[in-house]
Structure 1
Amino acid sequence: MKTFDLYATKVTSIDEIKSRLEAILSVKFFLHDSSFWGAYYRSDNEYAESIRILPNFNGKELLFEELEEWPVIVEVNSPEDPSQIISHTETSLEHIHRTEVQTGEWAKKYLYVDGKLTLILERSLI
């Protein structure tokens, strides 16, 4: 099963969130540039977990229109320990939603509401 977590923050600087996450998670982020995403940070580890820190506005448009009040987005793909990020309030991150996918079988989407994940969508991929 693959898990994808989406976080957002009111902190306006991707550099500030990068520094906070590096200190908390003991990972190193590297600056990347994309014609679509703009400048963003990415960290990959040997266990296939990846984290991207993205500005929600790439200079032309909002990347996540439904999250327009959040200037910085953090995507965590296949988190080794999802609670590791959620439990650290000093990151200033809000857990927005989680998607779980069992390749070729099913997909589930959860919203993070009142401190817990609430299933909002489930579909078969068969």
Structure 2
Amino acid sequence: MELVSKDLQNLLNICFEEHESSYWGEYNVAHLSETESIRLVYNYIDDDWQEEEFKEFPLLLELNRILEPEKMMYFLCKNLSYISLLYMDEIDAKVSSRRYVIENGQFKLVYEHLRKKNND
């Protein structure tokens, strides 16, 4: 975690802070703005997988509310060869959620859930 955090700090000119929680365990987070953050977490915490279908990845990098997330992911993958894009979730609270994967260098929609509107 320390080495990946240092690589990201140097590449993006950001600063990570160490945190610990009962749910996420030890993790590092960098706040880019009031709403944007990057979080680096362990995939295996307290005998449980965060992303069980990706057990080969010991660390997970989460980009939260990043402006132009596709651009950021391509930049990270290009400059840090050990980073792989697993998926991208797009969540619009109370409206919809979508999941994308990379296929042939493009984002492909693999899941979409639209919430029903209440006509009260």
Same fold, TM exceeding 0.5?
yes
Q: CA deviation at 1:103?
A: 2.5
Of the three residues 33, 41, 65, the one matched with 2:52 is 65
Q: CA deviation at 1:38?
A: 1.6
Question: Which structure is higher in strand share?
Answer: 1
Of the three residues 106, 110, 113, the one matched with 2:96 is 106
Change in Cα spacing, 1:63 to 1:106, as seen in structure 2 (3 Å) is: closer
Q: 2:39, 2:61 within 8 Å by CA — same for their partners in 1?
A: yes
- Alignment partner, residue 29 of structure 1: 16
- Alignment partner, residue 65 of structure 2: 78
* CA–CA separation in structure 2 for the residues paired with 1:43 and 1:80: 15
Deviations 1:38-59 (A, max 9, x none): 2110111225111110111224
Q: Relative contact order: is structure 1 or structure 2 higher (C-alpha 8 Å, sep ≥ 6)?
A: 1
- Alignment partner, residue 31 of structure 2: 44
TM-score, normalisation: structure 1: 0.80
Letter of the aligned partner of 1:110 in structure 2?
A: Y
| Structure label with greater radius of gyration | 2
TM-score, normalisation: structure 2: 0.83
Query: Unpaired segments of 5 or more residues in structure 1?
Result: 1-13
* CA–CA separation in structure 2 for the residues paired with 1:96 and 1:84: 14
- Alignment partner, residue 75 of structure 2: 87
3-state SS of 2:4 partner: helix
3-state SS of 1:18 partner: helix
Identity in percent: 23
Equivalenced residue count is 113
Letter of the aligned partner of 2:45 in structure 1?
A: N
Q: 1:55, 1:72 within 8 Å by CA — same for their partners in 2?
A: yes
Q: What's the Cα RMSD here?
A: 1.6
Letter of the aligned partner of 1:102 in structure 2?
A: D
